[in-house]
Amino acid sequence: MQTQRLDTSPAAIAHAAELLRRGELVAFPTETVYGLGGHALDETAVTAIFTAKGRPASDPLIVHLAHASDLPIVAAATPPLATQLAAAFWPGPLTLILPRHPRVPLAVTAGRETVAVRVPAHPVAHALLVAAGVPVAAPSANRFGHTSPTTADHVLADLAGRIVAVIDGGATPIGIESTVLDCTTTPPTLLRPGGISLEALGAVIGPVQVRNRPPAAEQHGLASPGLLDRHYAPDHELWLFSGPPAAALARLRAEAEAALRAGLRVGVLLPDDDLTFIHDLPVAIESLGPANDPATMAHRLYAALRALDARQPDRMLARDLDDAGLGRALRDRLRRAAARVVEV
Ligand code: TXA
Ligand code: MG
């Protein structure tokens, strides 16, 4: 199968929508990352999504809707709190876990009686969902466990030949995935930090439980299998230095020097402000943007990780980031991408 690259013209979107209705898989941009879309109520299409990604059937998918008012199509009930959240954050990068409507195939929810739902804000995603007229299940459009795609080229690098088409809508603005909030618990539980910060959620609905990630050994029967430790992983190993910035940077530099002495190729992923610490070393560098600008760093994170990875370093080094606001999601993704976290 040759994967078509479609533009964002109304004709191309109408074509993509028709493909989706017929049960084919189409990747498309959202405001967070590219999604690998399939007809959510068509079990064959849903199964094909898992196959294309190489994703275990035990990891449930997010269902994307054109409008918040479509929620009753896929959710059996909408608690008042979910209505409040939808009014505040949809369309946008927030995924709500709600009771599953029986018409949603269990393949979508990996056998659960809950369903993950989101109304994306990206104009191309919105236009596609309106034209398709059906709910669209879409995980991030990467091979399972790999870094999420923020451009159509990233999608093709992972999935060319495995899906019918990708709509090329340029780089996705936010760059990291949606926040996943379980609304079936009281108070609701943050399952994955993402594009909507915990602080922003709290301002609308009050207390939110934060589910701390269990160690890998205890990850059986997880509330959300996407919380698996190693995820969003580059091909080459990433070491993450965590602790007060100055100490973390000093340790990162020392490790870079040691690796260089050992004849290894070293890649470094850092906020702009930190680059002076390593500028005199012969290392490959990808910068994330200003350290005080988490939105820019989120926008660049996955592309920078892929770019550094493509330069084939034996070891990649990064510093842990501050976890206020969007920083919480950034830190989460860096930690999951890391083969090793060095606490300084
Ligand atoms: O921003 C995003 O959310 C992107 C775009 C394409 O919308 N999608 C995305 O999908 O990141 P995916 O499949 O890569 O991540 C979905 C996450 C996983 O961690 C999954 O385990 C969790 O949502 N999830 C889905 N359904 C769930 C459910 N019923 N209960 C708990 N967690 C669920
Ligand atoms: Mg994913």
pLDDT in tens, 45-103: 999 999 999 999 999 999 999 999 999 999 999 999 999 999 999 999 999 999 999 99
Tell me the mean pLDDT in the region 291-308.
96
Residue 255 alpha carbon to ligand 1 centre in Å: 35
Count the Cβ atoms, other than its own, within 10 Å of residue 57: 13
Q: Is 62 in the pocket of ligand 1 (CB under 6 A)?
A: yes
pLDDT exceeds cutoff 70 at 227: no
pLDDT exceeds cutoff 90 at 192: yes
Q: Is 97 in the pocket of ligand 1 (CB under 6 A)?
A: yes
Q: Band of the pLDDT at 220, cuts 50, 70, 90?
A: very low
Q: Band of the pLDDT at 235, cuts 50, 70, 90?
A: confident
- Percent of the chain at pLDDT > 90 equals 91
pLDDT the model gives residue 213: 61
Q: Is 145 in the pocket of ligand 1 (CB under 6 A)?
A: no
- Give the mutation target among 62, 98, 191 for probing the ligand 1 site: most ligand atoms within 8 A of CB: 62
Closest listed ligand to the CA of 224: 1
Torsion of CA 7, 11, 16, 18, to 10 degrees: -170
Tell me the mean pLDDT in the region 146-153.
96
- Across 93-121, b (16+ Cβ under 10 Å) vs e yields bbbbbbbbbeebbebbbbebebbbbbbbb
pLDDT the model gives residue 232: 75
What is the three-class DSSP state of 196? coil
Residue 139 alpha carbon to ligand 1 centre in Å: 6
Tell me the mean pLDDT in the region 160-186.
98
Contacts of 83 (CB under 8 A, 6+ apart): none
pLDDT the model gives residue 234: 86
- Give the mutation target among 74, 90, 177 for probing the ligand 1 site: most ligand atoms within 8 A of CB: 177
pLDDT exceeds cutoff 70 at 338: yes
Q: Band of the pLDDT at 216, cuts 50, 70, 90?
A: very low
Q: Band of the pLDDT at 223, cuts 50, 70, 90?
A: low
Residue 177 alpha carbon to ligand 1 centre in Å: 8
Short-list 14, 36, 15, 34, CA closest to 25: 36
What is the three-class DSSP state of 192? strand
Cβ atoms of 288 and 304 closer than 8 Å: yes
Q: Is 179 in the pocket of ligand 1 (CB under 6 A)?
A: no
| Helices first, then strands: H and E counts in the chain | 11, 16
Residue 200 alpha carbon to ligand 2 centre in Å: 23
Query: Residue 209's Cα: distance from chain center in Å?
Result: 21
- Closest-CA residue, ligand 1 atom 21, reads 226
Q: Is 33 in the pocket of ligand 1 (CB under 6 A)?
A: yes
Q: Band of the pLDDT at 215, cuts 50, 70, 90?
A: very low
Q: Band of the pLDDT at 214, cuts 50, 70, 90?
A: low
Q: Give, to the nearest 10 degrees, the angle between helix 10-21 and helix 123-132.
A: 50
Q: Is 192 in the pocket of ligand 1 (CB under 6 A)?
A: yes
Q: Specify the amino acid at residue 224.
A: S
Q: Which of the 8 DSSP states describes residue 146?
A: B
